[in-house]
Amino acid sequence: MIELEHIVKKYGSKRALQDVTLSIPRGKVIGLVGENGSGKSTLLKMMAGLLTPNSGAATFDGEPITRRIAAQIAYMSDTDDFYTYFTVQQLIDFYASQFDDFDVIKAKEIVQFLNVALGARIKSLSKGNRGRVKIAVTLAREADVYLLDEPFSGLDPMVRDDIAKGLIRFTDTERQTVIMSTHEIREVEPLLDDIIVMRGGVVIAHEAVDEIRDFYGMDATSWMVSLFKNQQVERELGK
């Protein structure tokens, strides 16, 4: 469904993405992992049509990915970009005015499920509740793809658990794809079908979680640590 072929993205002289080639099928929950600065956020923005590659091709269902793709792909930034004077209800109404696929009833159901008051003002919410609201207005879109940039970052375990439950309950993984960048691998592993690992702007692995367990006999976190160590050893031997 999403195809990236030999993508290069530069910021000045720095290459944020280097020759990235990926195929993302429909109906998967995928974890995008790697160290800070590895290119995860840039990759998600590329898929969302917010960035243009310097070279290579990015397509969605065979069509070039541009900003217009936002009509079919829901992107959640790792920053709070809300109008803080809005109430939660006003934020829902605003999203409904911006996206044709936004389901107001579903948004209210998710907000209720995540225990956030519709009348609460965004500026008065805790970081955890703002995180809940972000996921609610994102999942309320009936999009083909959800791109979530660090949905669990800085949130306490209870909030992370609520958001994980929301992902399970309010997405249709038979037809919708969820790609989330995260450092919380151990906690989200039960949700994941695949893991994509990045380092230095390069995709160094793309594996099915079941195959990691069956073939390597490890959980995803242990496998990723082993992958990084092996790569470091190879670099040192190659010097």
CATH number of 43's domain:
3.40.50.300
Number of domains in the chain: 1
β-bridge partners, 22: 4
β-bridge partners, 4: 22, 58
Does a structural domain hold residue 73? no
Does a structural domain hold residue 119? yes
Comparing CA positions, the residue from 176, 165, 113 lying closest to residue 141 is 176
Does a structural domain hold residue 22? yes
Domain residues for the domain of 122 are 2-67+81-238
CA 111 to chain centre: 20
Written as tens digits, the pLDDT of the chain (239 aa) is 899 999 999 999 899 999 999 999 899 999 999 988 999 999 999 999 999 999 999 999 989 998 888 778 999 998 877 788 899 999 999 999 999 999 999 999 999 999 999 999 999 999 899 999 999 999 999 999 999 999 988 788 888 888 888 888 999 988 999 999 998 888 888 899 999 999 999 999 999 999 999 998 999 889 988 888 887 766 666 65
Cβ–Cβ < 8 Å for 29, 14: no
Does a structural domain hold residue 122? yes
Does a structural domain hold residue 74? no
Does a structural domain hold residue 75? no
Does a structural domain hold residue 214? yes
